[in-house]
A and B are shown apart, each in its own frame.
Chain A
Amino acid sequence: MKPFDYQRARDLETAAEAAQAGGRIIAGGTNLLDLMKLQVMTPERLVDITRIPGLDRIESDGPGLRIGALVRNSDLSADMRIRTGYPVLARALLAGASGQIRNKATTGGNLLQRTRCPYFYDPAMACNKREPGAGCAAIGGVSRMLAILGTSEACRAAHPSDMAVALRALEAEVETRRADGATRRLGLDALYRLPGERPDLETTLEPGEIITAVLLPAPLPGATQSYRKIRDRASYAFALVSVAAVVRMEDARIATASLAFGGIGARPWKDPEVDAMLSGQSPSAELFVRAADRLLAQAETDEGNDFKREMTRRALIAVMREATGLAPASTGTDKAEVPA
C-alpha cells in the first residue's frame, strides 16, 4: 500500500470536514483496503468513521425501518425484523460475499463498493473509471462479468452489490448528511449515476457528503419476496445475473410488482416500465416473456456476455412464476410477514 495518513473521526462533522478536504472514508474496509493493496485506489488520508456513535443501529422510522450506515451486513441479515418483513433483503445479503466479509462490511460501504470489473482492478489496463480519459480495455475484452444495460462507450462495468438490488426492489432510500450539516433523502436511482462519459463519477454524493442510513418503507405483509442469484460457483462469487422481486397478489392478479436486477446493470438495475407491465395483470408465462423482452430491449452485448440475455430472461420468468404462485416457492422465495 502507498503511505497514507490515518484519522479517526469522533463525529460526522469532523468526518465530513476531512472528507471534503480529500480524505477517503473507511468503515468495514473490505473493498477499499483490497483496492489500496492493488494500488487501484491510493488515498492520501483515510478517515475512519467506525467509532462515530449512533450509526450502527436498526430502528423504527415511522412505519418503516432506519438502518444505520455502520450496521454490519451480517447483523442486518440476521435481524428478525428484516428476516420477517423484508426477506428479499436478508436473502440478497446472505447471497453476497463470505461469512467473514459480511461480519465486517457495512450498509453504507456495501452501497459504495466499487465494481469488480477485471480491467478496473488491474492498474496495467486502461480504465476510464480509474483514470478519466485513459480508455476502456474492457471493450473487446473478456466480458463475462460486465454489464449489458446502462453502459457507455467509456465504461462497461457492472455494479457488484447484491444488497443494493434488493434495496431497489424494496424502493428504499438513502439518508445522507451534506458537508454543511443538512440531511437529504434520495432513492437509489438518484444516488447512482450512469457512467456516460464520466464513469469515475459513480454517485451524486457531494464532497464531504456521507451516507448515514438506509430507509426502508413500510413492509408489505403478504407480499412474496424473492432473490435469485446465478453465479459461476455456488457461493462466494459475484452475480452473473440476479433478480430481486417484491410481488403482491390480489384475486389471482398481480396487484403490484417491483423487480430489480444485479450483474447486468451499470448500476443496480430497475426498469419502471417492466413493473408497470406486470402490475394489474394475470400471471402467465407469456406476460413474463414480454416483461423480459422489455427489460432487455436496450441491452448491448458482445459474444462474451450475450448469454446474459437468455439467463436474465429465464431468471425473471422463474422468479415471477414462484412469486405469483404459478410454481412452488423454492429456497430464496419467502412470504413477507408483519415484522417481528
Chain B
Amino acid sequence: MKITLDVNGVEKTLDLDARVTLLDALRDHMGLTGTKKGCDHGQCGACTVLVDGRRINACLSLAVMHDGDQVTTVEGLGTPEEMNTLQREFVSCDGYQCGYCTPGQIMSATGMMAEAAEGAPSHVSESLTAPADLDDAEIAERMSGNLCRCSAYPFIREAISRAHAAQTREGRE
C-alpha cells in the first residue's frame, strides 16, 4: 500500500505491507534508526515520536494509518553539532547511561512539555484547572510511559526540569 509521510519536514512516499508499524517504517524503510525498538508493545516508550506534534508509541501504530501525517523523530530535533535545549540538558545532566531509551525520553519530554504548556493536568496535579507546574513529581508522572533500565531517572528528570525552565525563560523574554 502506497502512503506519504512528512518526516522531519521531508516528504517520503513508501510502499508498505499493512502490517508495518510506524516504528518499522521509520527504522527499516527510511533508515531513521534514532527511534528505538524496545519492547514493541507500548510499555517502554523507546519508540516515542511526535505525530502532528503529539507524542505516541510508534510501535503501536500502523504506518498505513498515518498516510499524510507529519512525523517528528529525534533526528528532527537537533544534530550532534547543534543540539536543541533538551538534548543539551540531557548531555549536561548525564541523563542516561546506555543511551538506548534516550531518543524516546527526549521525544516524550518534548511532547510532554507542550502538553503542560497547554495546561493539561496530570494524575498527580492537585488542581485539575490550575496551570501545570512541572515539579519533580509532575515530571515523573508525565514521563511514566518511558522506562530507563539503567535507572537514570533522577538525571532525566533534572534535564527535563532545566530544559523546561530555559523554555519558560525564553517564553518570557
Contacts and interface: CB of A to CB of B under 8 A. Distances in A.
Contact of A48 (B21, B65, B108, B125): B65
Interface string A169-212: 00000000000000000000000000000000000000000000
A333 B55 CA distance: 28
> DSSP majority for the A interface?
mixed
B61 A104 contact: yes
Interface in A96-148: 97-101, 103-104
Contacts of B21: 33
B62 A103 contact: no
A212 to B, nearest CB: 20
Contact of B60 (A46, A77, A90, A104): A104
Contact of A95 (B18, B118, B123, B143): B123
Given A100-B108, A235-B123, A6 B1 contact: yes
Interface stretch (B37-45, B86-94, B153-161): B37-45
Contacts of A331: 124-126
Contact of A78 (B17, B41, B120, B143): B120
Interface stretch (A80-88, A256-264, A270-278): A80-88
Interface residues of A, number: 38
Contact of A104 (B56, B112, B120, B140): B56
A307 interface: no
> DSSP majority for the B interface?
loop
Given A90-B121, A104-B61, A99 B142 contact: yes
A64 interface: no
Contacts of A98: 42, 45, 144-146
Given A3-B18, A90-B121, 7 more contacts: A30-B60, A33-B61, A37-B41, A46-B62, A50-B65, A104-B61, A236-B145
Interface of A: 1, 3-6, 26, 29-30, 33-34, 37, 46, 48, 50, 74, 77-78, 80, 83-84, 87, 90-91, 94-95, 97-101, 103-104, 234-236, 331, 334, 340
7 contacts: A3-B17, A33-B61, A37-B40, A74-B120, A78-B121, A87-B128, A103-B56
